[in-house]
Structure 1
């Protein structure tokens, strides 16, 4: 119990603290009078002090407290959208505290000062100077002050004395007094304001809208707080990683102009990632950063907002900085550096015969345009670099700060496939001269983010896009004088990038085909052609791929004003339509406009006028000979065969030939496959009860077997996705589909279902038969895991551990901020 765990400080005193905590809503506490004025204190202890405290039975932050914070608090308090900017993923975040300012602010008229942990301030006092306030006691050191002066204690204890009702063991939705919306008004009380907050929102203790910590968990954290909330020393990086860092920093900082340009290019593409080395422990990651200091000295990261912003010094050094925070899935982008990658970089960027006579400027107009900045590097090398890890680079805009909220995401369909033009045969992606010549037409809006006029944004770049398409068509007309252009060989199959396996045999790159899912206000990219045949398909070439990265990753400023965010969103419309047009070019010319029109039902002609002209008239014909009237489906079948030996079959969602059950399945997975496939076949309004992203746990009837999980992705159909607002009016729920995968998709689950194998058929039957709100309530009550469910944390823990077991390198903690209140 809580009182026994704090016996060293006296049971009576502890009981009094709980009474004061329970009654604090009646009084306003003068903390300065009780515990003295606040002052930042150093909580870090060295190894000697840590060992001494351990011998005396003190709680360890790393071994005892951090696992609780990771499993109960990091689910919401981890990233840019952490409520009150309170990050609990590291001791630096805990010590920094909270802020009333928001990172995501759609109506911001001017850019905000960045507040990136580890980057924009180096000390806790510097964070105080930036307006952050403590969640730990910063007054006199005593058990009473360390508890009562700590916001962390107060919000956890608030939930402890005001638990969510379990309604007699029958979970019910939370009352409407809980605002769980993504952009809800935040409540960010300081310790001095907490008494009033607790009075007004007694049920809003932490974890917010979820069951509280159990007695053991709460006791552990409270004991740590009462002992002064000291932070253990972090272990050093592994010996293997240390050696790899030396080798890679030497490579990146080779002084030749050619190498400096290449290192800048690589850095501007990897700065968001979590770097790992094959030789080091699985969960050890690094960030590639620009530093004022050279290798061998302590890293002093250059705190620019964008990776290409002027560094303010003549010489920058590329360094590998350890990732100290808890790994959360929504920001976890893994990129491997190893001997094969080193050879690959040398082959792509250093072996080609080109010279670099001077380094490019960091002037914003030039630096924001990669086609100008890196014109010296062959375009094919840049494109192949992107293709090698296409999922990673597409994942940059999905797991980066740009991908948040409905308006940011409604620029893409809920499910579509992404393919790439062949770097060996696509003339434009190979022609460095043509791309450099078109650099001005390919410019991006990041360099000028001050405008707030969407009309100005639209037409300013529409004209440049129009000029680029004219130049592109003229270029291709000259290249294909016969009027015949694309064949299947123009689609990258993944077989021609010189990748080798451990035995030095050529292997196909499984990045050649990707599926992107939108989950209303978040998204996911996975390898393969997953799900049913999508409405739209993208085919990227180098200019599109590079612009996506510089628009949504390198050039996006999450602290920027409304004009910058709006221009980013609108420009992405062009890249989507251009990607779709690349796919349409493989269809018979007579079918392109009808197919395109089916994707954009209900749009004004002006909306697509800049892209419509190439689809009408006597355009270049495809080399593919079609046998049916359904050219799109036929083409996708050809493409799937073309991409072999990659296994792109999806027998669960897309069974073209019987039998459908994969031969490699065994045990419970094999037994439930027919029912899970039946679940995946449900379409239309029957899916209304299924949120965008759901995890389903199936408990086997045979208790000697382990439970299994599936991701259920609700793909909402749209008449078109051409407008920023009023998305609901363009939904077509009768055309909705469900994609089911035996692996984890997404970072933000919206709901969990828990079903015994013996009831799985009932689960599918009841879902198929839902017609009324009463049917929905019965279905959720029987199979759902509500926020108020006493099983919630046990089920959440199992899912996170199962994900880690499946993906020991790529897994991170799931985010619960989108979990619905059903």
Structure 2
């Protein structure tokens, strides 16, 4: 096949269709040039993810044309699974979406203007008082009950929700933006948007990767299926690719060189019902940070994949089928692929895999995130010390015990299914405990240290969470240690097999099993601690009702086998953490002197002296319990500090509130286990949340005054004075400039990670 034919065919397959079409475009007004930029600046921050109000997604022409729906994606009480409504996946074009219950926000209704036109007019007529706190009757965040007014219901909405036009409860459109949108809507809202077109270099790499995954042969087919199931969530980018160009793996009925004919199953491991071709198509629409989980492909990555999966003489006797049993146990389904290859592939990009199940793409996850602590570190067991990798006999005994629940969503069977899978998991944990007890005591070589993915920090922000490389913050209460069976189960349970549109049974089973996963990761770590300290740590992690949960649902830990690590008996966990940081300093991608001062030095070296002074001051707020720093009680989960120097430089810091709990072992009653006096703050340069809750803009020379005020803010009135002086409220005249500057900062510091942040959690402080 000639190069020209290759490029031509890839361009054909990637231009998989224009979005929803409207009347002929006026040369004076273009959706792509004039309309989408306004949506991106003022609308996408609330209208992009699954939990965008009324499912209205304004990140693309397809989303705008699709319109709105009264059916929420997030419904923890539904007894029947909902039909999926994934944009660019479950339907295409306005008519197809209307058959799924969506209604237009762009079409005029007889003599009435389009619903969007009326909502925008409603908002434009009632501007907010600059940088003032919003009225208390405007409910925001997760507690807001969206009416999702249809065109005929607008008048009732306007009457019952005064001052709640669009954009909602935030500095609105400029006069010019408002007039442009109204003119576009009045002209019939034409959409000229086209699919993203790859560069010649990207198109060539697309073909090379598709050829690899679609190569003939049983061994090749099994590897391709495993790779697809592990990369289906990824926003793929290529070495030397165009900035902002990302691609996604999908299953198609058609091979490379033909337009993609999407197989849109509910899960990536559902039966496709036909011959499958793995294809790469471009990620369409505005890139949103929450769902932007990146993964690099390059010639070096291809060589790595070939080395891991295609070397050796392993064979596939018969390809596995699909269905609930195969979904439940990927260890059995992909048994023929060497376990070493599977685990090493996941370790190479461990941050990506942990992000898939900790950060996204679920956009509203308190029922899932309340199973984890607000901050902890994650480490990984070296393959050569992982019995599942090294011992075929252990692997054979373990594999049948590693099946996961959630495939049967019968509501009446939740408890019986849960007990069956819990018992299998505990049988596996007993096998693991007893088998590892026969091995040499664990040492530093037990930990994988292959690259800078080896040390990860996780922060939970109530109903969302973030993952970043490096050991950030003070030594956390818990540390997780993943081995291959644990990492793969977590990924399949929370990413591959989790269905955001599933019913209450599916979601409950998933959440309950995640509790066992957390417990397993904690127990793995405890093997590194002195034997006589393990029960004490476990009692600290499972206080109060957690003791009952340990007795009822968890397998007993090994509290006899010693560790080979030499640790200070007075505080072995902290000593372990300090030795870990010192030993793996080159892998610890982000040193953290603000939260862990080196003697009296609490700022990064080699930065502007004004910023060094600012960081030194900010360190006074870090790692202190709320009992002695009362302002923590006033702070939301994720606050961003924008610190500006006199010469125009600025650095963005994340100020994260770590809420403390007696235990996180139960699905309900989180507030009953909350220990507010033990809350702490972590402060770190960078944007460590997809959902900013508030922004402070502080000149660097005023940071000491800001810190003084925070230390003295012992009640809400004093905190409000801080907000009034340095805060960027939703009503601030330059709100959008400051809000989008967070994304610009990501672009400057980690360009490939840039995306529009979500303001659905931005609080009314």
TM-score normalised to structure 2 length: 0.93
Structure 2 residue corresponding to 1:546, chosen from 482, 488, 503: 488
Q: 1:612 to 1:243 in 2, by over 3 A?
A: closer
- In 2, the alpha carbon distance for the partners of 1:85 and 1:600 equals 39
Structure 2 residue corresponding to 1:464, chosen from 424, 428, 434: 424
Cα drift, residue 559 of structure 1: 0.7
Q: Tell whether the 8 Å contact from 2:250 to 2:280 is kept in structure 1 after alignment.
A: yes
Q: 1:432 to 1:549 in 2, by over 3 A?
A: farther
605-614 vs 378-387, greater mean Cα deviation? 605-614
Partner of 2:147: 187
Cα drift, residue 606 of structure 1: 3.6
- In 1, the alpha carbon distance for the partners of 2:705 and 2:387 equals 55
Partner of 1:698: 643
Deviations 1:232-285 (A, max 9, x none): 243522111111111111111001111111110010011111111112102101
- In 2, the alpha carbon distance for the partners of 1:437 and 1:319 equals 36
Q: 1:301 to 1:584 in 2, by over 3 A?
A: same
Query: Residues 27-46 of structure 1 correspond to what in structure 2 (within 5 A)?
Result: 44=21
Residues 1:778 and 2:738 are matched in the alignment: no
Q: 1:697 to 1:300 in 2, by over 3 A?
A: same
User: How many residues of Structure 1 are paired with residues of Structure 2 in the alignment?
Assistant: 743
Cα drift, residue 543 of structure 1: 0.4
Partner of 2:442: 486
Partner of 1:573: 515
Q: Which has the larger radius of gyration?
A: 1
Q: Tell whether the 8 Å contact from 1:587 to 1:622 is kept in structure 2 after alignment.
A: yes
544-553 vs 632-641, greater mean Cα deviation? 632-641
- In 2, the alpha carbon distance for the partners of 1:722 and 1:233 equals 48
Cα drift, residue 400 of structure 1: 2.6
Q: Tell whether the 8 Å contact from 1:304 to 1:311 is kept in structure 2 after alignment.
A: yes
Cα drift, residue 424 of structure 1: 2.1
Partner of 1:727: 670
Structure 1 residue corresponding to 2:631, chosen from 654, 665, 686: 686
Q: Could you say what secondary structure the match of 2:181 adopts?
A: helix
Q: Tell whether the 8 Å contact from 2:687 to 2:742 is kept in structure 1 after alignment.
A: no
- In 2, the alpha carbon distance for the partners of 1:760 and 1:135 equals 45
Q: Tell whether the 8 Å contact from 2:614 to 2:701 is kept in structure 1 after alignment.
A: no
- In 1, the alpha carbon distance for the partners of 2:570 and 2:345 equals 38
Q: Could you say what secondary structure the match of 1:739 adopts?
A: strand
- In 1, the alpha carbon distance for the partners of 2:91 and 2:214 equals 26
- In 2, the alpha carbon distance for the partners of 1:233 and 1:181 equals 31
Structure 1 residue corresponding to 2:198, chosen from 217, 223, 237: 237
Residues 1:63 and 2:4 are matched in the alignment: no
Query: Residues 621-770 of structure 1 correspond to what in structure 2 (within 5 A)?
Result: 621-647=562-588, 649-684=591-626, 685-700=630-645, 702=646, 704-770=647-713
Partner of 2:4: none
Query: Residues 34-183 of structure 1 correspond to what in structure 2 (within 5 A)?
Result: 44=21, 53-54=26-27, 58-137=28-107, 148-164=112-128, 166=129, 169=130, 171-183=131-143
Residues 1:355 and 2:315 are matched in the alignment: yes
Partner of 1:367: 327
Query: Residues 242-391 of structure 1 correspond to what in structure 2 (within 5 A)?
Result: 242-313=203-274, 315-391=275-351
Cα drift, residue 658 of structure 1: 4.5
Q: 1:653 to 1:705 in 2, by over 3 A?
A: same
Query: Residues 437-586 of structure 1 correspond to what in structure 2 (within 5 A)?
Result: 437-451=397-411, 455-477=415-437, 479-480=438-439, 484-494=440-450, 509-586=451-528
Partner of 1:595: 537
Partner of 2:757: 814
Cα drift, residue 430 of structure 1: 3.3
RMSD: 2.1
Partner of 1:12: none
Deviations 1:716-765 (A, max 9, x none): 11111112222222222222111111111110011111122232111111
456-465 vs 571-580, greater mean Cα deviation? 456-465
Cα drift, residue 560 of structure 1: 0.5
Partner of 1:34: none
Cα drift, residue 42 of structure 1: 8.8
Cα drift, residue 561 of structure 1: 0.3
Cα drift, residue 402 of structure 1: 4.2
735-744 vs 326-335, greater mean Cα deviation? 735-744
Q: Could you say what secondary structure the match of 1:446 adopts?
A: coil
Partner of 1:14: none
Cα drift, residue 159 of structure 1: 0.3
Structure 2 residue corresponding to 1:792, chosen from 731, 735, 739: 735
Q: Tell whether the 8 Å contact from 2:527 to 2:558 is kept in structure 1 after alignment.
A: no
Q: Tell whether the 8 Å contact from 2:386 to 2:484 is kept in structure 1 after alignment.
A: no
Q: Tell whether the 8 Å contact from 1:451 to 1:563 is kept in structure 2 after alignment.
A: yes
Q: Tell whether the 8 Å contact from 1:375 to 1:432 is kept in structure 2 after alignment.
A: no
797-806 vs 153-162, greater mean Cα deviation? 797-806
Deviations 1:625-671 (A, max 9, x none): 33432111112222223324324631111123443433221253234
Q: For structure 1, which runs of at least 5 residues remain unmatched after alignment?
A: 1-40, 495-508
Q: Tell whether the 8 Å contact from 2:601 to 2:616 is kept in structure 1 after alignment.
A: no
Q: Tell whether the 8 Å contact from 2:458 to 2:466 is kept in structure 1 after alignment.
A: yes
- In 2, the alpha carbon distance for the partners of 1:564 and 1:815 equals 27
- In 1, the alpha carbon distance for the partners of 2:413 and 2:41 equals 44
- In 2, the alpha carbon distance for the partners of 1:515 and 1:442 equals 26
Partner of 1:197: 157
Partner of 2:745: 802
Q: Tell whether the 8 Å contact from 1:402 to 1:553 is kept in structure 2 after alignment.
A: no
- In 2, the alpha carbon distance for the partners of 1:594 and 1:259 equals 49
369-378 vs 723-732, greater mean Cα deviation? 723-732
- In 2, the alpha carbon distance for the partners of 1:182 and 1:669 equals 36
Cα drift, residue 602 of structure 1: 0.7
Cα drift, residue 196 of structure 1: 2.0
- In 2, the alpha carbon distance for the partners of 1:156 and 1:781 equals 28
- In 2, the alpha carbon distance for the partners of 1:327 and 1:668 equals 34
Q: Tell whether the 8 Å contact from 2:51 to 2:363 is kept in structure 1 after alignment.
A: no
- In 2, the alpha carbon distance for the partners of 1:529 and 1:593 equals 25
Q: Tell whether the 8 Å contact from 1:753 to 1:784 is kept in structure 2 after alignment.
A: yes
Q: 1:428 to 1:152 in 2, by over 3 A?
A: same
- In 1, the alpha carbon distance for the partners of 2:227 and 2:173 equals 44
Q: Tell whether the 8 Å contact from 2:31 to 2:193 is kept in structure 1 after alignment.
A: no
- In 1, the alpha carbon distance for the partners of 2:501 and 2:556 equals 38
Partner of 1:15: none
Q: Tell whether the 8 Å contact from 1:678 to 1:764 is kept in structure 2 after alignment.
A: yes
Q: 1:455 to 1:631 in 2, by over 3 A?
A: same
270-279 vs 466-475, greater mean Cα deviation? 466-475
- In 2, the alpha carbon distance for the partners of 1:661 and 1:128 equals 55
Q: Tell whether the 8 Å contact from 2:290 to 2:361 is kept in structure 1 after alignment.
A: no
TM-score normalised to structure 1 length: 0.87
225-234 vs 344-353, greater mean Cα deviation? 225-234
689-698 vs 647-656, greater mean Cα deviation? 647-656
Q: 1:538 to 1:667 in 2, by over 3 A?
A: same
- In 1, the alpha carbon distance for the partners of 2:95 and 2:212 equals 36
Q: 1:114 to 1:42 in 2, by over 3 A?
A: closer
Partner of 1:13: none
Q: For structure 2, which runs of at least 5 residues remain unmatched after alignment?
A: 1-17
